[in-house]
Structure 1
Amino acid sequence: MASSLPPSTSLSIPSTQPAPLQPRIHLPGQPPRLPLLPFSRALPLPLRLRITRPILPALPHALSSSSGGGDDHGHNNNNSGGGGGDGEGDAGHGDGGAPDDNRGEALFVLAQLGRKLESLPSDLAAAVEGGRVTGEIVRRFNELEASALFRWLLQFRGFRERLLADDLFLAKLAMECGVGVIAKTAAEYEKRRENFVKEIDIVIADVVMAIVADFMLVYLPAPTVSLQPPLARNAGAIANFFHNCPDNAFQIALAGRSFSLLQRLGAILRNGAKLFAVGTSASLIGTGVTNASIKARKAVDKDLEDEIEDIPVVSTSVAYGVYMAISSNLRYQILAGVIEQRMLEPLLHNHKLLLSAMCFAVRTGNTFLGSLLWVDYARWVGVQKVQEEA
């Protein structure tokens, strides 16, 4: 009977043999849930603050009563520089977010130094709020204030803008004025040689002009960190253009800032106009002093009446103004923006004494070259004549 059962029914008979283990594949559905923890999963408040803000200082100490919003319009802030500049912030030059980065960095440095924003000069504080200066500029200002002389000079915006761009600016100014008289006198002698004594009155005029002009030749083309506020909305297009030009056409722009080629050319034109006025004024003083000296000598020695001629005041002054606007302007802008800031400074940044010595040598050579060029130029345009041998 058992053999007549169909094969399928034999499976229903319980077997005493243990069934083999069969692996089961569990397809992923919902991920297994962790058991509830007996404590809150929210991190304690102090720990959360430490995680989210690991490096930021307590900004209220730096900001004090300031609005903290930063009125950064992204325009009308120049130079150098490296420099600072009026053209900072023509946003759209690929530095998006840089003003905010600069502002945060500057405020961080302020907090590190234990200073408040109100402790800075108003124009520098506004530049910090607007993100127009970096933390390095704030740190340099703090270091310069340690010196009584620098602290006094920092009260004047022109010196403040230049010292923040170049901490050796005052040394370069002293170099130029110190060697100016010696170098120019030597150059005059090199060009005139045997006629040096005969043309001594012209030499005096040149040296006096040099004394007056040397200061401005260093001051005007120097790279700056511009702290000028934005112009009024109703300012003309020309005023806005020159306001946005750097003080030095070749200076390095600060982080988050950029100057176009047209703005850098505008810096040459603007400084040329200023140096034309300076050169003309300096020449008026120099030739005036020289003519007064000639008249005094003629009053004492009547034999000099026919030997010495008065120097033409107007033509000499205009010629010297043109010379400074073109030759001096270009030479000093290249010297400060290219040779010193872009070549010597990066190479000798950590060797200030050697850097100062190199700047002294370069500026002395530039002063001597300028004197040689002036003598040739003055003779070429006819404001000075070569004295013939007797």
Structure 2
Amino acid sequence: MAVTTPAIATNRFLPRSISYRSSLSLPSISTVHSRSLSLTPSPRLRLRFSSSSPTRLRLDASGPSGPAGPNGPSGGGGNGDEGGDGGDSNKRNREEAMLVLAEVGRGLETLPSDLAAAIKSGRIPGEIVKRFLELEKSPLGWLLQFGGFKERLLADDLFLTKVAIECGVGIFTKTAAELEKRRENFSKELDFVLADVIMALVADFMLVWLPAPTVSLKPPLALSAGPIAKFFYSCPDNAFQVALTGTSYSFLQRVGAILRNGSKLFAVGTGASLIGTGITNALINTRKAFDKDFAVGAEDVPVLSTSAAYGVYMAVSSNLRYQILAGIIEQRMLEPLLHNQKLALSALCFVVRTGNTFLGSLMWVDYARWVGVQRSRE
């Protein structure tokens, strides 16, 4: 009794099982010592390899066992907040994706290599895999063999609907906007109208394509790439798009998305304008040869200045409007509200995109006159 009382007092803060074990082992100290030596590596191995969660490591390390104490902080501190949550999210994504594949009897080897690699690395949650399997069975399945279409369709199953909306209504809304702004001068400025509509239609597809949210399936960038290339490579395609589970974008990366898309749209706008104004000038010169009255009022559209002006307009105005439209209005507002009502969602997207296209045409006419590439004819 005198022997066990100090043991109970000493261990009153320990769990009952540990205190009981200590009181029984007093008669044979050498046995306990040899047992503790033989069992010590096992918990250490469990702590190091059985879980990557820093929370679990800290709990185990703070236990009453002596050897685990120093091992816990030194082993768990390095992974702190930087990799712990991401590792858990990646593991969860991988498990969800594999479960979806198992339900339909599919394996990673049956998927495209880029999608399979993304699943292995835990970048793709189960809902994206489920969407891929649904798209694969649809009439649009053949588009999944093209990386750009696949990334956009996985992020938005109405992507092609939005392309059709943009290009389908483009010619009508842009012509209506030209008529609204030019009014009685519409017929006199028909060459300008034609140039505007042509270059706008050429650019319409890219205005939907470039700012569209995507599910990134890109492989890691080469280690030899420079810091600027690495930065822009890590930026999302849409500055406001929702990040998938296990993925996050910093404020600078989202700003980088605007800058990167702006540079691409500048090139697209300049190229589209060169084509549009080139065709328009050819038509004007052809008509001048046959219609002397038309030759008096018509003049060539300034190709280079108009192309540069349209490139700047696309990089700034169109870039920001379409980034906000696709990333905020459609993905963050309309999609959660009408997720299971695709027809209503498509109708609202039609209304919003039609209004945006009309607004863009009005803004272009004012901008073109402001920078001097077009003049009002009285």
- Structure 1 counterpart of 2:220: 230
Count of matched residue pairs: 301
Match of 1:101 in 2: 92
CA distance in 1, matches of 2:244, 2:327: 14
For residues 324-373 of structure 1, what are the alpha-carbon distances to aligned partners after superposition, in whole Å with 9 as ceiling and x for unaligned? 00000000000000000000001111111101100000000000000000
Cα distance in structure 1, aligned partners of 2:294 and 2:190: 13
| 8 Å CA contact 1:93, 1:258 repeated in 2 | no
TM norm structure 1: 0.75
Match of 2:304 in 1: 314
Amino acid paired to 2:116: A
- Superposition map of 1:251-262 within 5 A: 251-262=241-252
Structure 1, residues 52-110: CA drift from partner, whole Å, max 9, x if none? xxxxxxxxxxxxxxxxxxxxxxxxxxxxxxxxxxxxxx955943411111111111111
Structure 2: which amino acid aligns with 1:248? Answer: N
Q: For 2:152 and 2:177, locate their aligned partners in 1 and report how far apart those are by CA, in whole Å.
A: 30
Which protein has the larger Cα radius of gyration, Structure 1 or Structure 2? Answer: 1
Distance of 2:240 and 2:214 partners within structure 1: 11
CA drift of 1:306 comes to 2.8
Give unmatched runs, 5+ long, in structure 2. Answer: 1-19, 22-80
2:55 match: none
What SS does the corresponding residue of 2:86 show, helix, strand or coil? coil
Cα distance in structure 1, aligned partners of 2:200 and 2:89:
43
Normalised to the residue count of structure 2, the TM-score between the two structures is 0.78
Counterpart in the other structure of 1:330: 320
Structure with the higher helix share, 1 or 2 = 2
Quick one: distance in 2 between partners of 1:247 and 1:273? Answer: 13
Of 224, 247, 254, the residue aligned with 1:264 is 254
Matched AA of 2:137: A
Aligned to 2:118: 127
Q: Quick one: percent identity of the two aligned structures?
A: 72
2:264 matched residue in structure 1 = 274
Q: Give me the whole-angstrom Cα distance separating, in 2, the residues matched to 1:92 and 1:384.
A: 56
Contact 2:188–2:297 under 8 Å retained in 1:
no
The code of the aligned residue for 1:265 comes to V
Measure how far apart 1:302 and its partner are.
2.5
Partner of residue 376, structure 1: 366
Per-residue deviation, residues 233-254 of structure 1 (Å, max 9, x unmatched): 1110000000000000000000
Match of 1:304 in 2: 294
Equivalent runs, 1:153-164 vs 2, <5 Å: 153-164=143-154
Cα distance in structure 1, aligned partners of 2:102 and 2:135? 18
Superposed CA RMSD in Å reads 1.6
Structure 2 distance, partners of 1:186, 1:118, is 52
Counterparts of 2:82 and 2:297, CA distance in 1: 64
Q: For 2:143 and 2:362, how far apart are their aligned partners in 1?
A: 34
2:244 alignment partner AA: L
Q: Does residue 151 of the first structure (1) align with residue 141 of the second (2)?
A: yes
Runs of 4+ more than 3 Å apart: 90-96
What's the offset of the Cα at 1:147?
1.6
Q: Which range is displaced more, 187-196 or 116-125?
A: 116-125
- C-alpha distance in structure 1 between counterparts of 2:255 and 2:223, whole Å: 24
Contact 2:287 2:295 (C-alpha < 8 Å) held by counterparts? no
Letter in 2 for 1:376: D
